[in-house]
């Protein structure tokens, strides 16, 4: 095959961190080339460098034999490079069509936008990925999975020769992911080169021809996918053998029904996207909530934390009725929340230490003044415990990889002493080793008496971690199953109607 994309000697350093240490990569036309590595290995930095949004300290890039300068998204687009970022780059207040065609709105006389043509131009890439939606609808009304589909359509709205996909299925259901794989297959048949970043090893084995593994900013090796299995990839990625996921069937021991109820919800609703939900969550219990895209999982989580307050129903925490109309109300009630979107949970320009202690300021302040030594000490404990890869807790959290940012959010609620923890897809975009650490932390919190509501789009995780599993469809809880139930049974129950 002909080499379409070549990067050579790419180096990028941030304060205290060498993100890329002279990376070389070649991708052939018509090839799906997977990029694999732990959080902080340098995958996203390399993707951003190729797309023009990060300027490397050294290195070169060619597309089709022609040099393409780094640091220019426009030059990258002109060379036929398109990207779907892990952290979406949409404008929520604008319509789907406006986002798909962002930066390329058609105009008529006097520079006025041709709205009819804009919508028509957007419908093409939306139909191409099978996303049937009114293009006039604001992105703010969409769930995370639907926003991801808009981002993919945006990348395909211009002629691409090289498509960069950074965790493209992290918020998609199996059905949506399969549709994406079919689309990737069609693109490669047309000669498009695809660089595919994912922590889901089964996906990499399924769709890629070659895999390049990064570790600590360096290329460990490039292997044909047909010559290595998932366990081999995991070992190559972390430098040691590791289990891919906890065995299904729930925890070895589960709290009894005599444990006090930590969270009681009755008739909690926000029509039309969240129907009345009843829920009891006991101290030390992990309750999984599984649902496909649009099932209402995130709507339920947002209602419990006051991000999208319920318009009906009641919430009790430790037997006390609570009005949760805002995140401040939820925190005061002892409810912590980890969003599926790290951007909602972090303050990018603040340090890692400040983000960790954000929900527990009384423990690191005196007379209203921040005790920096106490903040650093508390943060360092969680940085070490969760193996957050950072040079110092004093650096800005925005410089961390996506997986390490998610660990910071988990550390915050562990530090705050919340008695109820709502986790909405907390392992989205996190690698195998980091997943093991998250699972261990969740189990430890439960062992300490924290009640955990674990919402996930992955059946495996629900079965592996939960004491019992609630299944959602169409904005309501449609079933409760034991974690020993088969994936097929759970998926069948989840296959009901969907809401946006």
**What is the residue-level pLDDT of the chain in tens, covering all 500 positions?**
799 999 999 999 987 778 999 999 999 999 999 999 877 788 989 999 999 999 999 999 999 999 999 999 999 999 999 998 877 789 999 999 999 999 889 998 888 999 999 999 999 989 888 888 999 999 998 877 788 889 889 988 888 899 999 888 877 777 778 888 888 998 899 899 999 998 788 889 999 999 999 988 999 999 999 999 888 888 888 775 555 455 555 555 666 678 999 999 999 999 888 999 999 999 999 999 998 767 889 899 999 999 999 999 999 999 999 999 999 999 999 999 998 777 778 998 899 999 999 888 888 888 888 888 889 888 999 899 888 888 889 999 988 877 788 889 988 988 888 899 999 988 876 777 777 878 888 998 899 899 999 999 888 889 999 999 999 988 899 999 999 998 888 888 887 433 33
Same structural domain, 107 and 222: yes
Q: Would you say the C-alpha torsion 335, 386, 424, 340 has a positive or negative sign?
A: positive
Predicted confidence at residue 159, as pLDDT, reads 83
d(CA 264, CA 318): 8
Predicted confidence at residue 252, as pLDDT, reads 58
Q: How many contiguous H segments (helices) and E segments (strands) does the chain have?
A: 16, 22
Same structural domain, 328 and 198: no
Domain-located, residue 156: yes
- The count of C-alpha atoms lying within 13 angstroms of the C-alpha of 452, restricted to the half-sphere facing its C-beta, is 36
Same structural domain, 189 and 232: yes
Other CB atoms within a 10 A radius of the CB of residue 496 amount to 17
Other CB atoms within a 10 A radius of the CB of residue 484 amount to 11
d(CA 263, CA 282): 7
Domain-located, residue 183: yes
Same structural domain, 56 and 115: yes
Predicted confidence at residue 253, as pLDDT, reads 61
Same structural domain, 199 and 301: no
Predicted confidence at residue 414, as pLDDT, reads 82
d(CA 454, CA 263): 13
Q: Which of 47, 86, 83 is nearest to 167 (CA)?
A: 86
Predicted confidence at residue 500, as pLDDT, reads 37
Supply the CATH number for residue 201's domain.
3.40.50.300
Cβ 285 vs Cβ 467: under 8 Å: yes
Beta bridge pairs of residue 58: 11
Same structural domain, 196 and 126: yes
Q: How many domains does the chain have?
A: 2
Q: Which of 23, 86, 32 is nearest to 57 (CA)?
A: 23
Same structural domain, 290 and 202: no
Cβ 483 vs Cβ 248: under 8 Å: yes
Same structural domain, 318 and 234: no
Asked which of 203, 238, 273 is the last residue of a domain, the reply is 238
d(CA 108, CA 117): 10
Predicted confidence at residue 244, as pLDDT, reads 45
Q: Which of 82, 15, 94, 24 is nearest to 53 (CA)?
A: 82
Domain-located, residue 96: yes
Between the alpha carbon of residue 261 and those of residues 331, 372, 474, the distances in Å are: 18, 37, 27
> Which helix (H) or strand (E) segment is 164 a member of?
strand 162-166
Other CB atoms within a 10 A radius of the CB of residue 422 amount to 27
Spell out the residues 6+ positions from residue 227 whose beta carbon is closer than 8 angstroms to its own.
Answer: none
Same structural domain, 233 and 268: no
Same structural domain, 307 and 373: yes
Domain-located, residue 245: no
Between the alpha carbon of residue 397 and those of residues 323, 381, 424, 484, the distances in Å are: 32, 16, 20, 38
Domain-located, residue 248: no
d(CA 9, CA 24): 6
Q: Which residue has the tokens 């020993």?
A: 484
Domain-located, residue 251: no
Spell out the residues 6+ positions from residue 364 whose beta carbon is closer than 8 angstroms to its own.
Answer: 357, 370, 371, 374, 375, 378
3-state DSSP helix/strand/coil % of the chain, to nearest 5 = 35, 25, 40
Same structural domain, 74 and 115: yes
Domain-located, residue 244: no
477: domain range?
261-496
d(CA 218, CA 12): 11
Same structural domain, 88 and 160: yes
Predicted confidence at residue 352, as pLDDT, reads 94
Asked which of 176, 206, 238 is the last residue of a domain, the reply is 238
3-state secondary structure of 192: coil
Predicted confidence at residue 497, as pLDDT, reads 37
């Amino acid at each position: 095959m002909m080499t379409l994309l070549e990067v050579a000697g790419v180096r990028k350093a941030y304060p205290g961190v060498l993100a890329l240490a002279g990376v070389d990569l070649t991708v052939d036309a018509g090839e799906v080339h997977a990029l694999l590595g732990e959080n902080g290995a340098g995958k996203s930095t390399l993707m951003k460098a190729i797309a023009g949004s990060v300027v490397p300290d050294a290195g070169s890039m060619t597309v089709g034999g022609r040099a393409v300068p780094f640091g220019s998204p426009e030059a990258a687009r002109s060379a036929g490079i398109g990207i779907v970022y892990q952290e979406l780059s949409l404008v929520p207040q604008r319509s789907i069509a406006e986002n798909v065609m962002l930066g390329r709105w058609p105009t008529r006389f006097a520079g006025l936008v041709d709205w009819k043509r804009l919508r028509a131009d957007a419908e093409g890439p939306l139909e191409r990925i099978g996303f049937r939606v009114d293009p006039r609808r604001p992105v703010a009304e969409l769930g995370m999975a639907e926003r991801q589909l808009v981002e993919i359509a945006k990348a395909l709205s211009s002629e691409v020769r090289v498509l960069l996909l950074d965790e493209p299925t992290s918020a998609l259901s199996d059905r949506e992911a399969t549709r994406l794989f079919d689309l990737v297959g069609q693109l490669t048949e047309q000669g498009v080169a695809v660089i595919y970043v994912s922590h889901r090893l089964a996906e990499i084995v399924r769709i890629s021809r070659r895999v390049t593994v990064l570790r600590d900013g360096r290329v460990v090796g490039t292997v044909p996918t047909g010559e290595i299995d998932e366990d081999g990839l995991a070992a190559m990625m972390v430098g040691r053998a590791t289990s891919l996921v906890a065995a299904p069937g729930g925890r070895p021991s589960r709290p009894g029904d005599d444990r006090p109820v930590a969270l009681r919800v009755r008739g909690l609703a926000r029509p039309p996207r969240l129907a009345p939900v009843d829920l009891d969550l006991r101290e030390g219990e992990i309750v999984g909530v599984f649902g496909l895209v649009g099932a209402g999982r995130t709507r339920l989580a947002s209602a419990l934390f006051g991000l999208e307050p319920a318009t009906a129903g009641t919430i009790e925490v430790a037997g006390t009725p609570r009005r949760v109309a805002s995140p401040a109300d939820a925190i005061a009630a002892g409810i912590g929340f980890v969003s599926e979107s790290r951007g909602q949970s972090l303050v990018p320009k603040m340090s890692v230490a400040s983000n960790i202690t954000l929900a527990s300021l009384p423990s690191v302040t005196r007379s209203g003044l921040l005790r920096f030594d106490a903040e650093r000490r508390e943060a360092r404990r969680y940085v070490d415990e969760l193996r957050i890869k950072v040079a110092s807790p004093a650096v800005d959290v925005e410089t961390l990889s996506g997986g390490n940012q998610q660990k910071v959010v988990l550390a915050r609620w562990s530090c705050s002493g919340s008695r109820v923890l709502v986790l909405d897809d907390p392992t989205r975009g996190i690698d195998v080793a980091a997943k093991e650490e998250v699972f261990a932390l969740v189990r430890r919190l439960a062992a300490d008496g924290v009640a955990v509501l674990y919402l996930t789009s992955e059946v495996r995780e629900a079965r592996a971690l939960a004491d019992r599993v609630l299944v959602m469809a169409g904005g309501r809880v449609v079933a409760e199953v034991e974690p020993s139930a088969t994936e097929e049974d759970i998926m069948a129950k989840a296959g009901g109607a969907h809401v946006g």
